[in-house]
Amino acid sequence: MEKVMSWKSKAWPIVLVLLTAAWWVTDLKRFYSTGLSFDDAYMFWRYALHLREGLGWSWNLDGIPTYGQTSLLWGVVVWALTFLPLSMGHALMVGSWLTSGAALVAMARAVSWNARSLYLSRTWHVLPLVALPIVVSRVFLFNASSGMDTMLGLLMNALLVGMVLAWSQGKVRGEWVGFVGGLCFVTRPESVLAAVAMPVLVWWLERNVSKKDLARLLCVIGVMVVADLVFAKLYFHTLLPLGFYMKSMHAYEGYAARQHPVSSAMSFFSACGIFLIAMVVFARRKDLRLLVICTAPALLIFVYLFTVTQIMGFAARYYVPYFAFFAVPAILLLDRRLADRDAGELLADPPGVPLMRYAAAGIVLYFVQMMYPLQWMTRVDKVFEGRKFIYDNAVCSILASRPLPEGDSLQALNDVAEMLVRPLPKGATVAATEVGYLGGVAPQVNVIDLAGLNDSQIALNGFNSAAFLARKPDLIWMPHVQYTYERGLLFTDPSLLRDYVFIDGAAFYGIAIRKDSPYRAQIEAEMQAYWDKQYPGYAMSDYVVRSVSWDRQKHEVD
């Protein structure tokens, strides 16, 4: 007979839910007041504005489709966000934050849908167990406020985990699971590895679904993946986002920064440490299949991510979408213990086992909290990243004998966008590697993305300085200093000093103004105002480049 829950049992989950929600809202207010700093997120906003203007998914005013968005599904969400009466940064942040809340609820629902105990069969009972350990994590909070597709990826994967486990119990049709798996691919292409691996593991280990059911599920995923690829090829003329080609081919020769893929993964494991500890404490031999079914697909994706150039991979961004593969099984292990107790089965472990479990949990806690700063992990990162070479800097000849003072790079990005680019008339063309905020605040301006993430020519063919300068940008904000090879090629191209006034070090990376640009007078006036604000007491003419030398020497970096 079903047990009746006391009022105390009903009350404390409500208290915890309210506490979690208060914490969640408080952090939103804190991030909201500081503003959105994740530059890449603003790229989605530019695409959304152009879509509203009838230009399709295009980066520039020519209306040529560009597959620069890493997630078309998040692009649709951002398009909807553009109708809110909020600023660009605040709308992106609110959208990301609300999606993070939906992801937490989806993880709780994934547990309750597959729970065996009376207590955890209620989603609002599970929600504090899922949300409290997560919302106190700096890794999660950063990603929840980033404005990127990360939280949408987490939401889709949470739905996938819950539905696959429910499918294994006959609670949902395989076609619906396949549909969610297809959405996972549309959200983050690498997620298809888990969308395929998890149901295959269910069929192989549980033996409670037929080959026919599995085939139908995989067929739906396959149809959606093929349809997405065909659409992309016909519309964008590339199968995958441009970032895939940039990060897996020729693009980052001479790029100075290491990405630390393994350390980022360890940072992720540290953030979900409480769930890892729960696995150690509550798992029994009969639960091992559940652990393998849930965690192995995520670990497979992590192995793939170790091979990816993780540009802008702050706060374990590439791994956070896979929280559900660890949180859901951890709580389900607790649920199975409670279900055994409710059924009157022996709950206690044999003598000595509890002590061993808690000792192992302590070791796990220590490991996940301490492992990612360790020096040995940096060496492991280098194994996956391989040997890295950077080029010596190109040397600019100028009249000035003292360097420009360093300032805040984020402030420089904001000032270049607001003071130099936003005022430009429709049809003007600028070029830069830091194009997120810049492109978002000036949708009326053509932007050449020197990093290639939003430029098909550069992404598919590599950077060619002659081809780039032939496109005659009116204003060039030179590549970030980490692009040592690209900067060397561009600085030493004869056309640069012939056709541009190149001001060394301006806005950190250098700025060039096209001499025959129809907007030259306006740009120079804006540049003078920017210079007077940033570098009072320095003469801009002293930093105009007269010649450039570059020895093309490269050397391996640690």
Q: How far apart are CA 272 and CA 293, in angstroms?
A: 18
Instruction: Please say which residue of 320, 350, 383 terminates a domain.
Output: 383
Reply yes or no on whether the pLDDT at 534 is more than 70.
yes
Q: Report how far apart, in Å, the C-alpha atoms of 500 and of each of 395, 458, 481, 534, 546 are.
A: 17, 21, 20, 22, 11
Q: How far apart are CA 28 and CA 14, in angstroms?
A: 21
Q: Are residues 346 and 411 in the same domain?
A: no
Reply yes or no on whether the pLDDT at 358 is more than 70.
no
Give CB contacts under 8 A, 24+ apart, made by 73-81. Answer: 73/149, 73/152, 73/183, 73/186, 73/187, 74/44, 74/148, 74/149, 74/152, 74/187, 75/44, 75/47, 75/48, 75/51, 77/152, 78/44, 78/45, 78/47, 78/48, 79/48, 79/51, 79/52, 81/48
What pLDDT score was predicted for residue 356? 56
Q: Is residue 489 part of a domain?
A: yes
When pLDDT is cut at 50, 70 and 90, the band that residue 2 belongs to is: very low
Q: How far apart are CA 272 and CA 137, in angstroms?
A: 8
pLDDT tens, residue by residue, 495-506:
999 999 999 999
Q: Is residue 405 part of a domain?
A: yes
Reply yes or no on whether the pLDDT at 406 is more than 90.
no
C-alpha dihedral (246, 252, 258, 260), degrees to nearest 10: 20
Instruction: Please say which residue of 383, 413, 441 terminates a domain.
Output: 383
What pLDDT score was predicted for residue 413? 86
Q: What's 292-334 look like in SS3? A: HHHHHHHHHHHHHHCCCCCCCCHHHCCCHHHCHHHHHHHHHHH
Q: How far apart are CA 382 and CA 365, in angstroms?
A: 26
Give me the phi and psi of 77, to 5 degrees please. Answer: -60, -45
Q: Is residue 475 part of a domain?
A: yes
Reply yes or no on whether the pLDDT at 420 is more than 90.
yes
When pLDDT is cut at 50, 70 and 90, the band that residue 7 belongs to is: very low
Give the lowest-confidence range in 197-206, 302-311, 543-552: 302-311
Q: Are residues 416 and 497 in the same domain?
A: yes
Q: Is residue 28 part of a domain?
A: no
Reply yes or no on whether the pLDDT at 511 is more than 90.
yes
In which domain, by residue range, is 457 found? 395-556
Give the lowest-confidence range in 114-123, 345-354, 429-438: 345-354
What pLDDT score was predicted for residue 321? 95
Give the lowest-confidence range in 26-30, 197-201, 232-236, 525-529: 26-30
What pLDDT score was predicted for residue 370? 52
> Quick check: 124 and 16 in contact, CB under 8 A?
no
pLDDT tens, residue by residue, 82-105:
999 999 999 999 999 999 999 999
Q: Are residues 347 and 203 in the same domain?
A: yes
What pLDDT score was predicted for residue 18? 77
Q: How far apart are CA 21 and CA 24, in angstroms?
A: 5
When pLDDT is cut at 50, 70 and 90, the band that residue 354 belongs to is: low
Q: Are residues 351 and 471 in the same domain?
A: no
> Quick check: 371 and 377 in contact, CB under 8 A?
yes
What pLDDT score was predicted for residue 34? 78
pLDDT tens, residue by residue, 274-289:
898 888 888 888 889 9
Q: Are residues 306 and 354 in the same domain?
A: yes
Reply yes or no on whether the pLDDT at 55 is more than 50.
yes
The enclosing H or E element of 263 equals: helix 261-271
C-alpha dihedral (173, 178, 180, 181), degrees to nearest 10: 150
Structure tokens at 212: 């026919």
Structure tokens at 162: 């819950």
Q: Are residues 331 and 420 in the same domain?
A: no
Structure tokens at 416: 């270049």
Q: Is residue 14 part of a domain?
A: no
More confident residue, 375 or 385: 385
Dump strand ranges (E) for 392-434.
395-397, 429-432
What pLDDT score was predicted for residue 525? 96
Nearest to 496 by CA among 473, 480, 519, 518: 473
Q: How far apart are CA 272 and CA 279, in angstroms?
A: 11
Nearest to 438 by CA among 410, 463, 462, 458: 410
Q: Are residues 306 and 441 in the same domain?
A: no
More confident residue, 159 or 256: 159
Number of domains in the chain: 2
What pLDDT score was predicted for residue 1? 35
Reply yes or no on whether the pLDDT at 349 is more than 60.
no
**Using alpha carbons only, what angle is made at residue 123 by residues 118 and 125, rounded to the nearest 5 degrees?**
65
Most confident range, picked from 24-28, 229-233, 335-339, 411-415: 229-233
What pLDDT score was predicted for residue 375? 56
Provide the angle, in degrees to the nearest 10, between the axes of the packed helices 41-52 and 88-113: 100
What pLDDT score was predicted for residue 10? 62
What pLDDT score was predicted for residue 350? 53
DSSP 556: E
> Quick check: 480 and 507 in contact, CB under 8 A?
no
pLDDT tens, residue by residue, 445-476:
999 999 889 999 998 888 899 999 999 999 99
Q: Is residue 2 part of a domain?
A: no
Reply yes or no on whether the pLDDT at 3 is more than 50.
no
Reply yes or no on whether the pLDDT at 131 is more than 80.
yes
Q: What's 138-171 look like in SS3? A: HHHHHHHCCCCCHHHHHHHHHHHHHHHHHHHCCC
Q: Report how far apart, in Å, the C-alpha atoms of 91 and of each of 33, 36, 80, 84 are.
A: 13, 10, 10, 7
What pLDDT score was predicted for residue 123? 86
Q: Are residues 479 and 416 in the same domain?
A: yes
Q: Is residue 494 part of a domain?
A: yes
Q: Is residue 343 part of a domain?
A: yes
HSE (side-chain half, CA atoms, 13 Å) at 424: 31
Q: Are residues 124 and 203 in the same domain?
A: yes
pLDDT tens, residue by residue, 219-269:
999 999 999 999 999 999 999 898 888 766 556 777 777 777 888 888 888
Q: Are residues 278 and 322 in the same domain?
A: yes
Instruction: Please say which residue of 383, 411, 426 terminates a domain.
Output: 383
Reply yes or no on whether the pLDDT at 139 is more than 50.
yes
Q: Are residues 208 and 284 in the same domain?
A: yes
What pLDDT score was predicted for residue 120? 87
Q: How far apart are CA 265 and CA 271, in angstroms?
A: 10
**Using alpha carbons only, what angle is made at residue 75 by residues 429 and 101, rounded to the nearest 5 degrees?**
135
More confident residue, 382 or 142: 142
Q: Are residues 372 and 427 in the same domain?
A: no
To the nearest whole number, what is the mean pLDDT of the chain?
Answer: 87
With a CB cutoff of 8 Å and minimum separation 6, the contacts of 238 are 67, 232, 245, 456, 459, 460
Beta bridge partners of 483: 255
C-alpha Rg value of the chain to the nearest Å: 26
Percentage, residues of the chain above pLDDT 70: 89
With a CB cutoff of 8 Å and minimum separation 6, the contacts of 210 are none
Helix residue ranges per DSSP H, 431-519: 436-441, 456-461, 465-469, 484-491, 494-499
More confident residue, 57 or 21: 57
Burial of residue 243 (number of CB atoms within 10 Å: 0-12, 13-18, 19+) = buried
Reply yes or no on whether the pLDDT at 351 is more than 70.
no
